[in-house]
Amino acid sequence: MSHPPARTDIACRNCGTEAPLSFCAACGQETALHPPTLGEFVHEFVGHYIALEGALWCTLHRLLLRPGRLTTEYLAGRRRRYVLPLRIFLTASFVFFLTLKLLPAIEPSVVVDAAARPGATVDDIRAAAASAPMPASRLHTPMVMAFRLSDCGGTGEPACNALERFVNGIGQRFSSDPKAFVGQMRTRLFGAAPYAVFLLLPVFAGIVALAYRRRHMTYGEHVVFSLHLHAFWFLALLPIVLLPRAASDAVLLVVLAYGVLALREVYRGRWWATLLRAGFITVVYGAVLLLATLGLVAGLLATA
Taking 70 as the threshold, does the pLDDT of residue 104 lie above it? no
The answer to whether residue 70 sits within a structural domain is: no
137 falls in which pLDDT band (50, 70, 90)?
very low
> Residue 231's pLDDT is what?
95
32-41, 217-226, 270-279, 286-295: least confident range: 32-41
Taking 90 as the threshold, does the pLDDT of residue 106 lie above it? no
Nearest to 72 by CA among 262, 284, 278, 273: 262
> Residue 234's pLDDT is what?
92
103 falls in which pLDDT band (50, 70, 90)?
confident
Interval 48-65: pLDDT, tens: 655 556 788 889 999 999
Tell me, yes or no, if the pTM score tops 0.75: no
Q: Are 14 and 24 in contact (CB under 8 A)?
A: yes
Nearest to 36 by CA among 3, 7, 13, 11: 3
Give whole-number Cα distances, 243 to 64, 136, 229, in Å: 18, 9, 22
Could you tell me the residue range of the domain that residue 198 belongs to?
Answer: 192-302
169, 217: one domain = no
Q: Are 278 and 260 in contact (CB under 8 A)?
A: yes
147, 201: one domain = no
Calpha distance 232→259 (Å, rounded):
9
Taking 70 as the threshold, does the pLDDT of residue 174 lie above it? no
Tell me what the mean pLDDT of segment 205-224 comes to. 94
27, 114: one domain = no
239, 271: one domain = yes
For the ranges 34-38, 102-106, 229-233, 236-240, the one whose mean pLDDT is highest:
229-233
> Residue 249's pLDDT is what?
78
Q: In this structure, what is the dihedral angle of CA atoms 46, 51, 54, 55, given to the nearest 10 degrees?
A: -130
Taking 60 as the threshold, does the pLDDT of residue 109 lie above it? no
The answer to whether residue 171 sits within a structural domain is: yes
157, 250: one domain = no
- Number of structural domains in the chain: 3
User: Residue 35, SS3?
Assistant: coil
154, 208: one domain = no
Taking 70 as the threshold, does the pLDDT of residue 147 lie above it? no
Tell me what the mean pLDDT of segment 239-254 comes to. 79
294, 200: one domain = yes
In the listed set 153, 183, 213, which residue is the last one of a domain according to the structure?
183
259, 286: one domain = yes
Calpha distance 187→246 (Å, rounded):
29
156, 257: one domain = no
